[in-house]
């Protein structure tokens, strides 16, 4: 009987990108800190990880991302002010945010691409399986997306990528998998095809966003030659990893994908979450209805 895989405690969030799609807004504010009503995008990602059982969150940042660290810090002066003003509910929320997890920050060193920040976390992750997840998009689901992927890893012991079904007309926007179904919502990936043409896509199953990885990904990333645009890509490393072990796709159930790195989808997300916000939903809904669109 195969040994049970070790418990996953750590997650890596790459957050060093420039956010060029949101310039000039992201010239001074990280794209991960764009607000969804009253919480930044990255907080939704962190909350998903915490709800999935992650305790240590490694955020890989760049020179312009200090506000991410400040957001998850314990601001004594602010807490004291809120105490004096009797704003208990806000006080508890500020405390809760700081106490969500054990946060570790690393500055990215090396070439661009989403594989480099994962490699930068190698010494902190150590010889453990871990989650890698992007900080500018999220899937709102129950159970959380990361938990669903971690459960597949626990069962099979091999790397897992989250996946969603997309419209046939949208396959050219995603990495599409050619895969063999193993059980309900679980597939063994045969090929990862980056942004295929509609007529060339082997399926409509898009793999992206959340990765449960094993430490053998690190030596592959270390030796990987730069891919498109001269950058190091995690997908290229996973393709190499697939030569020596299975990699699975977990189709996420009961959730909705929010691509908050895209302007239009970001605005849709803000409106949708505002319509369910306990303090805003009634007045905001009435305002939207009053618009002569």
Do 81 and 226 lie in a common domain?
Answer: yes
Instruction: Supply φ then ψ for residue 191, to 5 degrees.
Output: -145, 145
Do 282 and 237 lie in a common domain?
Answer: no
Do 36 and 76 lie in a common domain?
Answer: yes
Asked, for residue 162, whether it belongs to a domain, the answer is no
Which domain range does residue 292 map to?
262-293
Asked, for residue 149, whether it belongs to a domain, the answer is yes
Do 110 and 46 lie in a common domain?
Answer: yes
pLDDT at position 1: 44
Asked, for residue 199, whether it belongs to a domain, the answer is no
Query: In angstroms, rounded to a whole number, what is the distance separating the alpha carbons of residues 33 and 12?
Result: 17
Distances in Å between the Cα of 44 and the Cα atoms of 17, 34, 105, 107, 279 are: 18, 11, 18, 22, 18
Do 91 and 235 lie in a common domain?
Answer: yes
* Number of domains observed in the structure of the chain: 2
Do 142 and 273 lie in a common domain?
Answer: no
The pLDDT profile of the chain, 293 residues, written as one tens digit per residue, is 456 778 899 999 999 888 788 888 888 889 999 999 999 999 999 999 999 999 999 999 988 888 999 999 988 888 889 888 988 988 888 899 999 999 999 998 877 888 999 999 999 999 999 999 998 888 888 899 999 999 999 999 999 999 998 888 888 888 889 999 999 999 999 988 888 888 888 899 998 889 999 999 999 999 988 877 778 889 999 999 999 999 999 999 888 888 888 899 999 999 999 999 988 888 999 999 999 88
pLDDT at position 118: 94
Taking the model in full, what pTM does it have? 0.91
Do 147 and 276 lie in a common domain?
Answer: no
Query: In angstroms, rounded to a whole number, what is the distance separating the alpha carbons of residues 62 and 134?
Result: 15
We report the CATH number of the domain holding residue 106 as: 3.90.550.10
Asked, for residue 128, whether it belongs to a domain, the answer is yes
Q: Do residues 264 and 28 touch, judged by C-beta distance below 8 A?
A: no
Do 148 and 282 lie in a common domain?
Answer: no
């Amino acid at each position: 009987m195969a040994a049970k895989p070790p418990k996953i405690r750590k997650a890596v969030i790459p957050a060093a990108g420039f956010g060029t799609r949101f310039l000039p807004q992201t010239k001074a504010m990280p794209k991960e800190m764009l607000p969804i009503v009253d919480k930044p995008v990255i907080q939704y990602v962190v909350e998903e990880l915490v709800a999935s059982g992650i305790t240590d969150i490694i955020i890989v940042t760049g020179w312009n991302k200090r506000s991410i660290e400040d957001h998850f810090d314990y601001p004594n002066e602010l807490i004291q002010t809120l105490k004096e003003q009797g704003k208990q509910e806000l006080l508890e929320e500020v405390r809760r945010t700081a106490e969500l997890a054990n946060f570790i920050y690393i500055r990215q060193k090396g070439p661009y691409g989403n594989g480099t920040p994962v490699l930068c976390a190698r010494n902190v992750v150590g010889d453990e399986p871990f989650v890698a997840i992007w900080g500018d998009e999220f899937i709102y689901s129950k159970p959380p997306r990361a938990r669903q992927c971690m459960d597949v890893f626990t069962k099979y012991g091999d790397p897992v990528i989250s996946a969603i079904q997309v419209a046939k007309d949208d396959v050219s926007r995603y990495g599409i998998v050619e895969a063999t179904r193993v059980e309900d919502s679980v597939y063994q990936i045969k090929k990862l095809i980056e942004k295929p043409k509609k007529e060339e896509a082997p399926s409509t199953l898009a793999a992206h966003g959340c990765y449960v990885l094993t430490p053998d990904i690190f030596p592959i990333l270390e030796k990987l030659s730069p891919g498109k645009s001269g950058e190091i890509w995690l997908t290229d490393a996973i393709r190499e990893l697939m030569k020596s072990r299975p990699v699975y796709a977990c189709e996420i159930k009961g959730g909705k994908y929010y691509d908050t790195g895209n302007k239009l989808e970001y605005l849709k997300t803000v409106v949708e979450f505002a319509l369910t916000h306990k303090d805003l939903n009634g007045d905001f809904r009435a305002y939207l209805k009053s618009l002569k669109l």
